[in-house]
């Protein structure tokens, strides 16, 4: 099956802990993204990588760090989570370029207590 896969589906943790989310795509794309969807369902870009190179880095707190081992994998680490980090984190992939349809994974829902 060709798609975008994310693990875990859900994660509950306490303030100050570190969490990591994984994303893998089997679509053969060269660009991957992390988006955050907040409690009001607003979706915003966080990062994008092209062939392991960071190409978009929006205004995101420094406790967030993306990690790419190859063009098919893009993980997201959050050091010392805060309550406002509670959200759904969506991974996506596409070919690089202005005219490139993006495909999304099912998301990881993070709850910070």
Partner 1 sequence: GDQVEQSPSALSLHEGTGSALRCNFTTTMRAVQWFQQNSRGSLINLFYLASGTKENGRLKSTFNSKESYSTLHIRDAQLEDSGTYFCAANNNAGAKLTFGGGTRLTVRP
Which residues of this chain interact with partner 1, rule CB under 8 A?
Answer: 31, 33, 35, 41-45, 48, 55-56, 58, 88, 90, 92, 94, 96-104, 106-107, 109
Length of the chain: 113
Distance CA 79, CA 92 (A): 22
Q: Count H helices and E strands in the chain, helices first.
A: 0, 11
Nearer to partner 1, 31 or 75 (CB): 31
C-alpha torsion 100→90→40→62, nearest 10: -100
DSSP for residue 52: T
Q: How far is the CB of 16 from partner 1 (least distance, A)?
A: 26
Nearer to partner 1, 5 or 65 (CB): 5
Distance CA 102, CA 52 (A): 17
Nearer to partner 1, 10 or 15 (CB): 10
Q: How far is the CB of 80 from partner 1 (least distance, A)?
A: 26
* Residue 6 β-bridge partners: 23
Q: How far is the CB of 102 from partner 1 (least distance, A)?
A: 6
Q: How far is the CB of 20 from partner 1 (least distance, A)?
A: 20
């Amino acid at each position: 099956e060709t798609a975008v896969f994310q693990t875990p589906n859900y994660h509950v943790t306490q303030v100050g802990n570190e969490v990591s989310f994984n994303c893998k795509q089997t679509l053969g794309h060269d660009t991957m993204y992390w988006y955050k969807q907040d409690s009001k369902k607003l979706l915003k870009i966080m990062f994008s990588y092209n062939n392991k190179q960071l190409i978009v880095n929006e205004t995101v707190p420094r406790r967030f760090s993306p990690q790419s081992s190859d063009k098919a994998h893009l993980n997201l680490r959050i050091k010392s989570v805060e309550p406002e980090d509670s959200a759904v984190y969506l991974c996506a992939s596409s070919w690089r370029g202005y005219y490139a349809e993006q495909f999304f994974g099912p998301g990881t829902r993070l709850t910070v207590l």
